[in-house]
């Protein structure tokens, strides 16, 4: 498993659920229901001042674990963790887990 940060494009449904991903110029589709959680930002290291009462979405990152397969080409399933920053509306790829074998 690798931990890093890389820009990634994620198309979402109206309810916010990820639908499709574009990563390194390739299109991917989801093959399993995405898993969502939140992780606390290190706001104390960022010298971030958060006004009282609006911490949600600023103090936490929205995280998703996605199971992806390329639309064209290899049918290997990639398990990745991506974060969504509500302030910037940007997606970042933060973890790539071991590639999973695609069952027939």
Q: For residue range 25-84, what is the model confidence (pLDDT) as tens digits?
A: 999 999 999 999 988 776 666 555 666 665 555 667 889 999 999 999 888 888 999 999
Is residue 46 in some structural domain?
A: yes
**Domain with 30 in it:** 2-96
Distance between CA atoms of residues 19 and 92, nearest Å: 15
List the structure tokens of 29. Answer: 């589709």
Taking alpha carbons only, the member of 65, 82, 92, 84 closest to residue 6 is 92
Domain count within the chain: 1
86 CB-near residues (< 8 Å, 6+ apart)? 57, 58, 62
Given this model, what pLDDT does residue 103 score? 46
List the structure tokens of 22. Answer: 């574009």
Given this model, what pLDDT does residue 20 score? 95
Is residue 101 in some structural domain?
A: no
67 neighbors 29 (Cβ within 8 angstroms): no
Given this model, what pLDDT does residue 73 score? 83
| β-sheet bridge partners, residue 62 | 38, 84
Given this model, what pLDDT does residue 85 score? 84
Is residue 80 in some structural domain?
A: yes
Is residue 104 in some structural domain?
A: no
């Amino acid at each position: 498993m690798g931990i890093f940060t890389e820009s990634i494009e994620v198309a979402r449904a109206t309810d916010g659920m990820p639908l499709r991903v574009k990563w390194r110029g390739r299109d991917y589709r989801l093959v399993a229901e995405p898993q969502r959680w939140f992780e606390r930002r290190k706001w104390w290291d960022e010298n971030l001042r958060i006004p009282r009462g609006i911490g949600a979405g600023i103090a936490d990152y929205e995280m998703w674990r996605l199971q992806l397969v390329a639309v064209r080409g290899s049918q290997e399933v990639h398990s990745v963790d991506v974060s969504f920053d509500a302030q910037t509306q940007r997606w970042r790829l933060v973890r790539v887990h071991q590639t999973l074998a695609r069952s027939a």
